[in-house]
Amino acid sequence: MKKLISIVVPCYNEEEVLGKFYDEVVRVAREMAEVNFEFVFVDDGSSDSTLAKLEGLAEQDERVRFVSFSRNFGKEGALLAGLEYAKGDYVATMDVDLQDPPSLLPEMYATIQEGYDCVGTRRVNRDGEPPIRSFFARIFYKLINKMSKIEMVDGARDYRLMTRQMVDAIIAMREYNRYSKGLFSFVGFKTKWIEFRHVDRAAGETHWSFWKLFVYAIEGICAFSTVPLVIAAVLGLLFCFIAFVMIVVIIVKTLVFGDAASGWPSLICVVLMMGGLQLLALGVIGQYLAKTYLETKRRPVYIVRMTDEDLRRKDKKS
Ligand code: UDP
Ligand code: MG
């Protein structure tokens, strides 16, 4: 029996590259005659003609399956849906913009045959990216790797090939705040990294602004580390200690030298700093509380509006 590889692809307003992506993967799939392929496209509530294009592909190629969301739920939701719908013995996740070169697939498949559970890819350079963004990305990876027990590989892409066993482990994690890079690493298993050089988007535009990335980074840290809470507590303790020492010093000073009412500016500085620190600590706690709040609601990560099965059923009836 030939093994089946599922290609899971989140798509959000990707009408421009969808066709190119499909052609490219089909070309690579033809070279890999030893396996069967299926596509699992996830239309993440696109407002352009992405869904129509997917329907077209599904009609002409029975290997193409798709799931279409009722609105935009974000890439993390799309990835989960894709993994859940995929039937393959192996599952690959990749972006539709051809920044994850499909030509790596044969090498990835060969590697996983050597006894790995997962083959991940990482970019070794960050060309075509604003320098300031690369700078913050580096800081983020340094920070999160210090703060979390989970290892996050710098430059790792969401382009990987996994065994069924690993996919099932990921699906079993039902959390609402999904930070996939962390989840992949959390489940463990033997992962081999393949390196490649950065490729520019084939067409269309990135969906990530600097601000969105910043918020995403904070989410990543909150999802996989509670160190910020410890830092808040330690800072609080430290300042209590300093205050205690100062009180002693001031009492002694007043008793010895009498009270001259000076030192107003420094007082304001201390007040401002303490106020700032308290707000910061509250903010940190608030972040975690908010996550817990969302998590306890147990809302679905995505809602499906239609799938290729709906389409195929309709075709049969008419
Ligand atoms: N994507 C998605 N939902 C979103 C945003 C993005 O499914 O809300 C998909 C998008 O279609 C693409 C992938 O996630 O296949 C990566 O997006 P993009 O290329 O914009 O990110 P970048 O490569 O710039 O990090
Ligand atoms: Mg991209």
What sign does the CA torsion over 185, 187, 190, 196 have?
Answer: negative
Please report which confidence band the pLDDT of residue 9 belongs to, taking 50, 70 and 90 as the band edges.
very high
220-243 pLDDT per residue, tens: 888 888 888 888 888 888 888 888
Residue pair 10/42 in contact (Cβ under 8 Å)? The answer is: yes
Q: Is the pLDDT of residue 44 over 90?
A: yes
Q: From the CB of 158, is ligand 1 less than 6 Å away?
A: no
pLDDT at 297 over 80: yes
Note the pLDDT of residue 1.
Answer: 84
Distance from the CA of 239 to the center of ligand 2, in angstroms? 45
**In the prediction, which pLDDT does 197 show?**
81
Buried b (16+ CB within 10 A) or exposed e, 207-231: eeeeeeeeebbebbbbbbbeebeee
Is the CB of 74 inside a 6 Å radius of any atom of ligand 1? yes
pLDDT in tens, 106-117: 999 999 999 899
Going by C-alpha positions, the residue among 53, 115, 83, 250 that lies closest to residue 180 is 83
What is the structure's pLDDT at 117?
A: 93
Q: Is the CB of 66 under 6 A from ligand 1?
A: no
pLDDT of residue 260: 67
Whether 95 lines ligand 1, by a CB cut-off of 6 Å, is yes
273-288 pLDDT, tens per residue?
Answer: 788 788 888 888 888 8
Residue 2: count of CB within 10 angstroms of its CB:
10
Give the pLDDT mean for 65-94.
93
pLDDT (mean) for 184-189: 88
Locate 109 and state its tokens.
């498949």
pLDDT tens string 246-272: 888 888 888 888 766 777 777 887 887
Percent of the chain scored above 70 by pLDDT? 99
d(CA 291, CA 42): 25
Average pLDDT (79-96) is 94
What is the distance between the alpha carbons of residues 8 and 11, in angstroms, rounded to a whole number?
10
Atom of ligand 1 nearest to the CA of 206: 20
18-41: average pLDDT: 91
**pLDDT tops 80 at residue 102:** yes
What mean pLDDT is predicted for residues 303-307?
92
pLDDT value, residue 165: 93
Task: Determine if ligand 1 sits within 6 Å of the CB of residue 206.
Answer: yes
- 167/141: higher pLDDT: 167
Sign of the four-CA dihedral 24, 170, 117, 33: negative
Structural tokens at position 157: 């892409």
Compute, in angstroms, the gap from residue 292 CA to the centroid of ligand 2: 30
Q: How far is the CA of 49 from the centre of ligand 2 (A)?
A: 19
pTM, full prediction: 0.79
Look up residue 133 and give its amino acid. R
